[in-house]
Amino acid sequence: MTFSQDRIIPTDLSNEMSRSYLEYAMSVIVGRALPDARDGLKPVHRRILYAMYELGLTHDRPFRKCARVVGEVLGKYHPHGDTAVYDALVRMAQDFSMRHPLIEGHGNFGSVDNDPPAAMRYTECRLQSLSTNALLRDIEAETVDFVDNFDGSQQEPVVLPARIPQLLLNGSSGIAVGMATNIPPHNLGELVDGVVALLHNPQMSDADLMRYIPGPDFPTGGQILGRIGIKEAYTTGRGSIIMRGVAQIETIEQHGRPDREAIIITQLPYQTNKAALIEKIAELVNDKKIEGISDIRDESDRDGMRIVIELKRDAYPRVVLNNLYKQTPIQANFGANMLALVNGEPHLLSLKQFLQVFIDFRIETITRRTQYELRKAEERDHILQGLLIALGNLDAVIQLIRGAADTATAKTQLVERFSLSEAQADAILQMQLRRLTALEAEKIQAEHEELQAKIADLQDILARRERIEAIIEQEVQQIKTAYATPRRTEIIQAEGELVDTDLIANEQAVILLTEQGYIKRMPVNTFGAQNRATRGKAAAKIKEDDVVEHFLTCCDHDNILFFSDRGVVYTLNAYHIPAGSRSARGVPIVQLLPISQGEKITSIIAVQEFTENDYLIMLTRKGYIKKTALSAFSNIRANGLIAISLEEGDQLRWVRLAREEDSIILGSKGGMAIHFKADSQQLRPLGRATRGVKAMKLKEGDELISMDILPSQVVARIGTAEEESEDETLENEELVSSEEANQGPWLLAITTCGYGKRVPVSQFRLQKRAGMGVRAIKFRSAQDRLIAIHVVNREDEMMIVSNRGIIIRQAVDAISLQSRMATGVRVQRLDDDDAIAAVALVPPSAEGEEDPEAE
């Protein structure tokens, strides 16, 4: 074979290679691997959705074989392999891959175990209603540009007219030439809130937007550890987000064998292969790299995921779980790389830039749609105006048409005589005789007037940007109402991470801890105020052999101090305690705190700031009391801090916040109360590792049940008294005036049988520490006992919880004001086998003053 010399073109090899490779790279970047920032889709996904829309496979039509869709896409728009198209179609139908799947699948579309989908000849599909309403709607209204397909035989959209920020909603990943993208999925409701906020305030920063979009929301749920990676991704476009599965430590019942503790995994990090994870854990156990595991089972079914990791009897569950986090994909990193195409060029985008690109695109789309609707309305109105002219000159028009030789002549004469356009003349000639009736003429006139109003409205939309922004807001809110679902992924604080609390709402909360160690947090507004002596609402799904033991009201920004019976204190931020519904049991506290086996939490308090003037008053079961500066607890280690030294057999039971000028009231189960000052004469400040001094002299069989603090301004109004006997009646002591009694504060006393009363605090004279005290309440039955005392004011509200988890919230003002020797009134109606477990006061506001604590 010979070549003529004139057909050989001399070319520099390096230039040719450089040019060719650059063209190839840009082709991959733009035409294959990177999504468009406007609709969040790569070309293959866009072509699949558009082809299905053209086939009429909407959510209200029957399913069609996936092979039919793949063939349509290959033949018309995407000249590549069928495997590439089917794989993309399958992923858009997987609810564990996409936060809101765009395609509804029928058949086997794979699993979280990485099982492959069935062949395309077996599976069927159709569009989800979200795809139709939020991505493809208005595509016929000239909202987006169309271009020729690969052979020029068809037209395909350059971009879909998305009504939602789809790229952030479902995320995207792709490897191009020299660059890659990895965008996590988000929650639809949060994205809509972010878009609306940015519309109202275009000057918002990425940090401001994080109030509305706190972080990714993965379809498989799980947890995100810390906010630092999220903030980096949202502000710089790149960040490493730590994902963690959801695991609980439970005691599982086994037939014929002693109960064992087990780690139950119910959610995995995004894109984690469950089967590979179980295989990895088994491999680590066999290689002795993880100790303490006796068995692994996959009990997942159609109701949800459940991986059971049984532990050996001597294993420490928290240590095993931490090893699993460290050595297996139960904890993994999501390397966010927020790269997308903007005007055909790859750009690294921040959170605000993503939303701004979407808003700009929506403004363009709505403008084009409005222009299209305006043009159509004007064209229709132009025809109607011609028909109205014909109806106004009906006899002349009929005579003209009847006298014309042919249609063309009639058309020409109509145009010349009545100054009509050709389109109007055609419409008149095509008008049916039935439209000449008076009723039809009225309809034409009404339609003309309606179109005039519509044209004026459309012109107003085009003239005013705020109208377009209002339409964007209305449309995204409609989609949010129809399709938004609650967040699945929980964002928790990483150990040692400094959190920007401005991103977390400081709401009032209720914290419940049961006797078996289940804890949860609920908003205070879950419980509306009720009347006295009503039943209340169930607050927790309590196991038969479990009861509510600790109950605390606080605010989400507070530090919660947990004191154990061994005299050790642990700390958590309130918002780190997982929120739960009224029907939820809560999570085991051993998942949140490094409590040793046999150790039990006996008191919890909320602290806003570790100030110099505040002290912790600690009281033990045997009646030892001590005062320690709160500042000594400002840096509590992860494994806890010693708060008090205990003698053999004693336990730390109650802890309260107080100041030097305040006074202390103690209550006993037998209904006695003692009131003494918290100053250095009665209680001198002691260090953490000390025991304390005797608090109260108790009768045989009696025991301490509660402690509260009386503020200094009230203490000043109360005199001192010598030791009084238990039998001394109210008549023998100095009576207070009704004005002083009604002024408050009062001592609120609640009994186990659901009775309570308010007593003026002035009836409890200041005494010396370690005395017998005075009677605070008389009981209606031999079984009744005092369960709680609280210092309350007129505006306070209290929440009472029973052993079976029934909570009632009521104003303390509704409880009768009575003397010390009275029995009180019913405050909560209880079942026969139930009893009051704890009482707490509702903080006055989210920024509230010091919060009262629970028993």
Q: Catalytic positions, please?
A: 122
Asked if 505 contacts 770 with a C-beta cutoff of 8 angstroms, the reply is no
* b/e map 714-746, b = 16+ CB within 10 Å: bbeebeebeebeeeeebeeeeeeeeeebeebbb
CA angle 62, 63, 66 (to 5 degrees): 155
Q: 792: phi > 0 → left, psi -120 to 50 → alpha, else beta; which?
A: beta
Q: Which amino acid is at 752?
A: T
DSSP category for residue 155: E
Q: What is the 3-state secondary structure (H, E, C) of 419-440?
A: CCCHHHHHHHHHCCHHHHCHHH
CA torsion through residues 625, 626, 631, 633, sign: negative
DSSP category for residue 575: G
839: helix, coil or strand? strand
Where do runs of H (alpha helix) occur along 619-696?
none
CA-based nearest residue to 225, from 207, 208, 239: 239
407: helix, coil or strand? helix
Asked if 49 contacts 102 with a C-beta cutoff of 8 angstroms, the reply is yes
The whole-angstrom separation of Cα 614 and Cα 636 is 17
DSSP category for residue 151: T
CA distances from 413 to 261, 383, 402, 409, 427 (A): 96, 17, 12, 6, 14
CA torsion through residues 8, 9, 12, 17, sign: negative
The whole-angstrom separation of Cα 526 and Cα 422 is 69
The first and second tokens of residue 69, run together, are 């869709």
Contacts of 617 (CB under 8 A, 6+ apart): 625, 626, 627, 655, 656, 657, 658, 664, 678, 683, 707, 709
Residue 810's CB is within 10 A of a number of other CB atoms, namely 23
Is 219 exposed, middle or buried, given 0-12, 13-18 or 19+ CB atoms closer than 10 A?
A: buried
The whole-angstrom separation of Cα 86 and Cα 92 is 10
501: helix, coil or strand? helix
How, if at all, do strands 223-225 and 490-492 pair? Answer: parallel
Contacts of 854 (CB under 8 A, 6+ apart): 550, 551, 552, 553, 604, 838, 839, 840
